[in-house]
Structure 1
Amino acid sequence: MNPLTSRGSGSHSQRAGTALSVNVNKVALLRNTRSLGIPSVVRAATLCLEAGADGITVHPRPDERHIRAHDVFDLAELLKAWPGAEFNIEGNPFHNLVDLAREVVARGLPLHQCTFVPDSVEQSTSDHGWRFPEDAARLAPLIADVKALGVRVSLFMDPTPEAMPAVRAVGADRVELYTETYARAHAEGRLAEVTPAFADTARAALREGLGVNAGHDLNLDNLTDFLKAVPGVQEVSIGHALVGDALEFGMAETVRRYLQCTREGNT
């Protein structure tokens, strides 16, 4: 018996509450500074899964500044040994995201979710969500294409409750709430100014039958408070802060600490 398969299936399929998907982009960024192949993105993802993470996220960009195409396929191969965990590829569907999704599925590899993010080629990181109704017409066919592959589609969105009916109408399955404004307000002691919009958006999404994800600048200090304040969050995707914390605590211990935050946030 494959120990990864047996351990992975048991530890993930029985978890309830908010799932933790670890974004390993920053591991790839460090690796790419040299030609030695270290640190290994696959090894980092394995450590995360062994520690109990519920999934792995990557955000490949056209310039391959961190995650490269081969990483996407290597990680999908890894996820075959973890049937209870999910693989999420995020990025701009008008760049390289949809082609990568098609190739992963064509190779018979697991892919559970594509998160559409409206980032430009020049951006160092995502900084806003999709706009409705402006983006609806051009998103609809790409959402349909990815869903035809059997892959769930999530749209990266600002906390705008009134946009949730349009997200449902365009065919998306989930929204990922862009949480940078929440994280900044948490650090500055201004939660009362921003938390209601996130909670209202999550409620609006749930009323429309959408799933709710969240991500961007969530960390050990603010994650529990976010989950306590915002109802129904099914998944958080965390990369920069988690990889940074791993430099201090180690990858496995860091994942365990984030999982503890999700448990506390769901109580």
Structure 2
Amino acid sequence: MIALSVNLNKIALIRNSRDTVIPDIPEHARLCIDAGADGITVHPRPDQRHIRADDCRDLAAMLDVEFNIEGNPFAGPRASDRAGVSDYPGFMELVRELRPTQCTLVPDGDAQLTSDHGFDLHRQGEDLEPLLAELRSLGIRSSLFMDPEPEQMAIAAQIGADRIELYTETFAVAADSGVELGQCYGRFRDTAEAALEVRLGVNAGHDLNLHNLTVFRELPGLMEVSIGHALTVDALRIGMPAAVQAYRSVLAGR
């Protein structure tokens, strides 16, 4: 079955809108796990706009499922501008400290509202290669955030990635509009098949929801989806455990 990793960034965003510890991040991770989530994902950015470095530490200390930390591997340390919030140590330093199950490398920056593109390995592959080697030496599974570009899959394998995570916003937009959905899905299918040919695992995430997953779950070789925004919105309506169970049912084809 396709694994469901729940992204808790939006839970942290709600907390950060007040000077409070509510909602509690580990508590919501436990709700997700008890409801059947296969993993927990966080994306700690240098500005700590949602998940913070200390949240990652708290989760690493309590999780009994796969822990996926995603972010820009080139993001360095930054002092916190908020009282009571620890400094950001730098992305790779945090990963070295916590040793998550999986590390998903994402080419994002502060100016982006959310992740909005994958790596261009023709330009960035040489810089990523030693980082991927380090992750492997630490026993951390690596994944590269990628656009649906079949021609880049061989490069991803060559530089040492274990998996790729397909950036699925274009698919979500096509699924909502119904315009060129088959053509768009075909591009993702071709990319997944190219990844499988070079023995890369295939993950996916961004704007996947209960509706478009009924199509996307058929992607060849899909191993894991990371879902946060849509699942959190559904949880506001039906509760977190019910939302997790609903996504697991869709992924299982029920």
TM superposition score normalised by structure 1: 0.88
Does 1:64 pair with 2:45? no
Partner of 1:188: 177
What's the Cα RMSD here?
Answer: 0.9
Superposed CA offset, 1:89-142 (max 9, x none): 00000013211111113xxxxx11000000012111001000121111111111
Contact 1:20 1:237 in 2 (8 A): yes
Write out aligned runs for 1:1-267 (5 A). Answer: 17-79=1-63, 82=64, 85-95=65-75, 96-105=90-99, 111-190=100-179, 191-228=181-218, 230-264=219-253
Amino acid at match of 1:93: P
Amino acid at match of 1:155: L
**What is the percentage of aligned positions where both structures have the same residue?**
56
Partner of 1:14: none
Q: Distance in 2 between matches of 1:89 and 1:25?
A: 11
Q: Distance in 2 between matches of 1:232 and 1:179?
A: 15
Contact 1:224 1:262 in 2 (8 A): yes
Amino acid at match of 2:25: V
Q: Distance in 2 between matches of 1:132 and 1:72?
A: 28
SS at match of 1:120: coil
Amino acid at match of 2:217: L
TM superposition score normalised by structure 2: 0.92
Amino acid at match of 1:87: F
Deviation at 1:144, TM superposition (A): 1.2
Q: Distance in 1 between matches of 2:153 and 2:221?
A: 15
Q: Distance in 2 between matches of 1:264 and 1:97?
A: 36
Deviation at 1:78, TM superposition (A): 1.4
Amino acid at match of 2:55: D
SS at match of 1:177: strand
Amino acid at match of 2:74: F
Partner of 1:5: none
Amino acid at match of 1:77: A
Deviation at 1:193, TM superposition (A): 2.3
Deviation at 1:77, TM superposition (A): 1.0
Deviation at 1:192, TM superposition (A): 1.3
Amino acid at match of 2:203: N
Q: Distance in 1 between matches of 2:250 and 2:94?
A: 32
Q: Distance in 2 between matches of 1:44 and 1:200?
A: 36
Contact 1:60 1:67 in 2 (8 A): yes
Runs of 4+ residues deviating >3 angstroms: none
Q: Distance in 1 between matches of 2:136 and 2:202?
A: 17
Amino acid at match of 1:223: L
Deviation at 1:169, TM superposition (A): 0.4
